[in-house]
Amino acid sequence: MSSTEDRPLRDAEGGNGEKGADGAEGVTELPQLTHVDAAGAARMVDVSHKRDTVREARAGGAIRMKPETLAAIRAQAVSKGDVIAVARTAGFLAAKRTPELIPLCHPIPLSGMEIDIRPDDALPGLRVEATVRSTGKTGAEMEALTAVSLCLLTIYDMVKGVDPAMEMGYIAVLSKTGGKSGSWQRAES
């Protein structure tokens, strides 16, 4: 997971490290939102005119914990079971149920998914990365983000009894391919 290896869970100011149109650090200016109509009401975007393309999205995140908690996970000494295996399974299930959780998200046919959960002694904690593939009219970013989020929440749930101060963060899309806008990759910082 080289894209998130050296990133903190969040930056000190809470921004995303990008510059806006005015040159100020923080959140960049967004184009017109597609999930709201002219009156500002929420709507599901009509994608019927789009052609099907092969799409892939990769997202990542991390959970910071005590070194002894990470050691217990590595040794599979957690009373609830194999934390990494259960978290990975939760991620797969979450990605498949994304449109049930996010109201305006289109259901898409998932054709493949990998979830990588790796210990990181530098945090200390675990880094999660999900890659989701689909052939369809809209991207798989939401499914990848949902998979990462539920992996992290499951890890927290399984070891909160010994380490309630764990922190989850830096959940982000790392790259995407396919569709009209083509490929995009998060810049290294």
Indicate the helix (H) or strand (E) that contains 25.
Answer: strand 25-26
* Choice among 6, 82, 121, 157 that is catalytic: 157
Is residue 120 flagged as an active site residue? no
Instruction: Report the residue count for the chain.
Output: 189
64 in helix, strand or coil? strand
Give the angle 138-144-149 at the CA atoms, nearest 5°. Answer: 135
Phi, psi of 155 (to 5 degrees): -60, -50
CA distance 63 to 126: 5
Token pair listed for 175: 């790259």
Indicate the helix (H) or strand (E) that contains 110.
Answer: strand 110-120
Phi, psi of 114 (to 5 degrees): -125, 145
Cα of 137 vs its chain's centroid, Å = 20
**What positions carry a catalytic annotation?**
157
